[in-house]
Amino acid sequence: MICPFCRHDDSRVIDSRPVEDGTQIRRRRECPQCSQRFSTQEVALLNIIKRSGATEPFSREKVLVGVRKACQGRPVNEDDLVLLAQRVEETLRSTGQAEIEAHEVGMAILAPLRELDEVAYLRYASVYRNFASLEDFEGEIALLRALPSNVSSNSSTPSSASKKTESSVKN
């Protein structure tokens, strides 16, 4: 790597550590010519294959744009959305694939969006999964009711299950 200070055509790595949950590597480098230090960051290239067959680099910003639209008027703040986009990127990177179909990006958005806001999830899913009728919505809502998206929504309801367990222990 060329030294950004004196343009010497080599540099020495003096420290290397994972950042962003291990999806990136930051290296501290030193120039043997002028002794200046600088950092580089290494991230695996992640390309998205569009329907047209063309590829483009993954963009958190594009995820944000789509999700923000679905969350309009919902009690969701910008930090939640940024975190969601980060989770989507981590999910995609954890597959270890260098190229991912645009369709899979949509799939990776669904789960965290559902945890964030069920109405926004339904909006997003209706576009993304081409809901064509009321029955499609009803089916999805039935699924949402049947499978609570996270533990905290369970624990906030009075737990009749634990009471049953207590009484069965007494018996």
Minimum CB separation from Zn ion for residue 152, in Å? 53
Question: Applying CB under 5 A, does 60 fall inside the site for Zn ion?
Answer: no
Q: Does 33 interact with Zn ion (rule: CB under 5 A)?
A: yes
Nearer to Zn ion (CB atom), residue 7 or residue 103: 7
Task: Please tell me the number of Cα atoms within 13 Å of 16 on its side-chain side.
Answer: 5
Choosing from 29, 31, 109, 121, the residue that interacts with Zn ion (CB under 5 A) is 31
Shortest distance in whole angstroms from residue 7 CB to Zn ion: 7
Based on CB atoms, which residue is closest to Zn ion, 37 or 74? 37
Q: Which stretch binds Zn ion (CB under 5 A): 23-31, 49-57, 75-83, 146-154?
A: 23-31
Comparing CB distances to Zn ion, the nearer of 6 and 44 is 6
Contacts with Zn ion by CB under 5 A: the residue count is: 7
CB of 60 to Zn ion, least distance (A): 33
Cα–Cα–Cα angle for 150, 154, 158, nearest 5°?
170
Residue of 2, 13, 14, 34 that binds Zn ion (CB under 5 A): 34
Phi/psi region, residue 35 (left: phi>0; alpha: psi -120 to 50; beta: rest), is: left
Instruction: Establish if 2 lies at the interface with Zn ion (CB under 5 A).
Output: no
Residues forming contacts to Zn ion in the complex (CB under 5 A) are 3, 5-6, 8, 31, 33-34
